Structure 1
């Protein structure tokens, strides 16, 4: 197994009704439960950016949860780019 198989990073852009509906808090709760690190951030264009780092299978589980979202959200799409993992994150937080 290569070292990347255990620690990968995904950059996700979630579109739809995802601001003002507890989406970042929901993302933080799920990611923390899964043991992922990174952040969720509202973007000026109405999307939410999520950086999640950890095991690929756990990031896939996070993606499944994000595609549903919290009760008041309406997720229309998620664009995912796999990027190089880094050591800069120690927890999953909401970025202002």
Structure 2
């Protein structure tokens, strides 16, 4: 499938979801936290922070010892969210990687995936 067709399908998907749910796609970031981030309540901190900021998506532990966040919202809130993660009071975050991701799903809330 060509890149143009994929982009067009993603565009149509976003339009359909927005019309049916009233939610906007905003931006979607894939964030990985590295360091002492598992077994210290990091996912609960991330969920609470995202909820307070009105962001949507999920957080989960990964098999390689990191924490992954898929977070959706407007750019300004996302930038503040990333800054807060770098200074998280739980555990010890030594690295934060942030990648923009194609919006393939519009989240309605923020939750922990197990």
| TM-score over 0.5 (shorter chain) | yes
1:75 pairs with 93, 101, 108, which one? 93
- CA-to-aligned-CA distance 1:37-85 (integer Å, 9 cap, x gap): 00000001100000000101101111111101134x1101011110122
Structure with greater contact order relative to length (CA < 8 Å, sep ≥ 6): 1
More helix by share: 2
Q: Which structure is larger by alpha-carbon Rg, 1 or 2?
A: 2
Asked if structure 2 preserves the Cα contact closer than 8 Å seen for 1:34 and 1:58, the reply is yes
Out of 10, 13, 33, the position equivalent to 2:32 is 13
- Asked if 1:63 is matched to 2:77, the reply is no
Q: Name the TM-score, length of structure 1 as normaliser.
A: 0.88
* Alignment length (residue pairs): 90
The normalised TM-score by structure 2 is: 0.74
State the partner residue of 1:32: 51
* Structure 1 unaligned residues grouped into runs of 5+: 1-5
CA RMSD after TM alignment: 1.3
